[in-house]
Chain A
Amino acid sequence: MVKIKDCRRRLGPGVDFYCESFDAPAGVQMALWGPSGCGKSTMLNLISGLLRADSGIIEVDGVETQKLRNGQLDRFRGERFGFVFQTFNLLGPFTAIQNVMLGMRFSDTRPHHEWKPRAKELLERVGLGNRMHSKPATLSVGERQRVAIARALANNQKIVVADEPTGSLDPKTAHSVMDLLLELCGEEKMTLLLVTHDAGIASRLPERFDCTGLAREVES
């Protein structure tokens, strides 16, 4: 599903990201783990097309993403990837159901009339059937992350990328959010790439990729 070969990206003066090889088969649940600053988030951004590589090959679902033009890459990202962030990244002016629908609105993978039923279904699955019309500011952090998970799954994306999804949660909530994420991705047969620095969290996933040393100092 995701392959990387000889991928290089300049991160700043004297700092480069370099990944010689990476392979995540379809449907895998894999932790990209390592210490802070090791380059694991950069790798996730390169895979999802939020960043472009300076050189090398990134292949997602059979498509070499570096060959896509900007607009094509935006569309491709919306269709293939679901995002779960550490800080939830919900849009403040919109309600929970609208946030989930926005995921479908921009990816354009479903007809308009399916947006609302699909959003309702997902919010009920993450246990927020009674908070659909609440705005993010009125939800607890755990509830916000559940909305973000529902949004990430809205388009039946092939890949869910989660960047420290439990980083802002207390241990109990973090545990339940992880359970939910793993369960739903398993049910939907989605590839899950989860960035974490927490070895405990990483151990809960069947596959792990050690990102230590991906970001390194080089002679400028």
Chain B
Amino acid sequence: MTLWHIAWNYLWNRKLTTGLTILSVALGVGLITAVLILRDETERRFVEEGQAFDIAVGAEGSTQQLVLSTVYFIGQPAGNIPYEIYEQLQKDEDVERAFPIGLGDSFRGFRLVGTSADMLQYDWVNRITGEPRNTFRLVEDGNGRYFEKPFEAVLGSAVAQQTGLQVGDTFVSTHGLMDLEGAEAHEDMPYTVVGILRPSGTPNDRAVFCDLASIWHAHEHEYGTASLTGADTSTEADVDEHAAEEGDEHAGEHHEHAEGEAHAEEHHEHHDREVTSVLLVLKSPGLRFQFMPRVAEKYPDVIAAIPVDEIQKLYRDLLGTARQVLLAIGYLVVVISSISILIGLYLSIVQRKRDLAIMRALGAAAGEIFGAVLIEAFWVTLLGIGAGWFVGTGLTYGLGAYLSERYGFSITAFRPSPDMVSAYSAVLLMGMVAGIVPAWQAYRTDIARDLSDV
């Protein structure tokens, strides 16, 4: 029968009080755990995603806006840039691969990402670990494939799940990136689903991928311009070459639907078309910093950003403060919990002064009594931390589901981080410190007086 056993028996003897004290510790620890897991996991996932591309090139504006809108598919892009920039960047000797990104339309709130099929077929690897990244893997039912021509679409897993669309189904996109009531639908330009992606826990889950030409074509058809925003930015109307090849009936309808009918019959070249951004994979990530200023020099109205830098800046500037506030709240709750440990133990010591005196009479040294009470504080705090971990991971699971739903980022790893170990150690220390006052009270037991108090 050790002091640990004795301490445990006393805690078990007052289950309700012990349980409530453990709960109060668990709430604080849970909050701290959730904040730390969310911070580490979201940062890890965002950075991992950001690392996929070395450089993002887009219209003048905020670099963070550019990265968020075209890499993470969050928020609105600042504008568009000429297609020819993509063509030129593609030929740059430092560029391993360039992918055009065209945004402007959506389907039930999921944005259509016009790009080249090359982006889906590329052998993506984690630029940090070198491991393959299966962000564009098709569902293995043998039915799906990547798009090969305009108006073929590949759905992200969340899109397929939430819309119920399957391979072979068709849908109509609407103009704009939000699911707004009354948004103009491109009724005459239906897309056919040709493939569905496996869940990847990335923003791809919430996107619809199609050929860039689809976006242009839909916009030409509706607005008589290949401008992705629908604004007539070109002087010549653009007739899609794919449509021409297919003897496209839509092209024939141009006169009826397009706003700028005068432009409709005119042919215009690729260089009049636009892309929202160009995402680059360089031959080496080490080229990022020398490549970026070169873009700014060469293309005056264009900005370039390193996605991973932007996301880390965002974390530092914005989420860093939020994290500090949440962590401070978590620690405050733990301090309050420590006080409740102190009060709970102190009251329990007052109630069992006689028991302590009996133990002393039986030969227990004052130091042993001090130790036994401190062990009680240790048990309560340790169990609080254990319960807090469950509360925290449960909370994270819930928030993770929301993040996955909202931003396509799934949080699956609940591994302990060094920060978490430090936080738990700090909580344990606080709990032990809270146990010192009651332990000292127990240490100072006046045996004869306490035994005679009936």
Contacts and interface: CB of A to CB of B under 8 A. Distances in A.
Contacts of A74: 360, 363-366
Contacts of A191: none
Contacts of B12: 93
Interface stretch (A22-30, A97-105, A210-218): A97-105
Contacts of B318: none
Interface in A20-78: 41, 45, 48, 50-51, 70-71, 74-75, 77-78
A94 interface: yes
A18 interface: no
Interface stretch (B51-59, B79-87, B217-225, B445-453): B445-453
Interface residues on A, range: 20 to 34
A93 B1 contact: no
A148 to B, nearest CB: 10
Contacts of A93: 9-10, 12-13
Interface in B346-377: 354-355, 358-368
Contacts of A79: 363
Contacts of B1: 98, 101-102, 105, 115
B128 interface: no
Interface string B384-418: 00000000000000000000000000000000000
Contact of B448 (A45, A98, A108, A151): A45
Contacts of B16: none
A87 interface: yes
Contacts, number: 66
B362 A41 contact: no
B363 A77 contact: yes
A48 B362 CA distance: 11
B366 A70 contact: yes
A13 interface: no
Nearest to A83: B361
A78 B362 contact: yes
Contacts of B355: 91-92
| Chief secondary structure at chain A's binding surface | helix
A75 B363 contact: yes
A90 B357 CA distance: 11
A75 B360 CA distance: 9
A17 B245 CA distance: 118
A96 B91 CA distance: 88
Given A41-B452, A98-B1, A101-B1, A91 B358 contact: yes
A203 interface: no
Interface of B is mostly: helix
A151 B362 CA distance: 9
A107 interface: yes
Nearest to A91: B355
A11 to B, nearest CB: 10
Given A87-B454, A102-B1, A51 B448 contact: yes
A106 B368 contact: yes
A78 B361 CA distance: 7
B363 A71 contact: no
B362 A83 contact: yes
Contacts of B354: 89
Given A51-B448, A89-B354, A102 B359 contact: yes
B451 A85 contact: yes
B183 to A, nearest CB: 69
A81 to B, nearest CB: 8
Contacts of A77: 361, 363
Contacts of B448: 45, 50-51
Given A51-B448, A94-B9, A102 B362 contact: yes
Contacts of A85: 451
A127 B13 CA distance: 27
A106 B363 contact: yes
B81 to A, nearest CB: 75
Contacts of A103: 362-363
B371 to A, nearest CB: 12
Contact of A107 (B10, B363, B447, B451): B363
A151 B448 CA distance: 19
Interface in B220-273: none
27 contacts: A48-B361, A50-B447, A50-B448, A51-B448, A71-B366, A74-B363, A75-B363, A75-B365, A77-B361, A83-B361, A86-B454, A89-B358, A89-B361, A90-B358, A91-B359, A93-B12, A102-B1, A102-B6, A102-B362, A103-B362, A103-B363, A106-B359, A106-B362, A106-B363, A106-B368, A107-B362, A108-B363
Given A50-B361, A74-B360, 11 more contacts: A50-B448, A75-B363, A79-B363, A83-B361, A87-B454, A89-B354, A91-B359, A92-B13, A101-B1, A106-B364, A107-B363
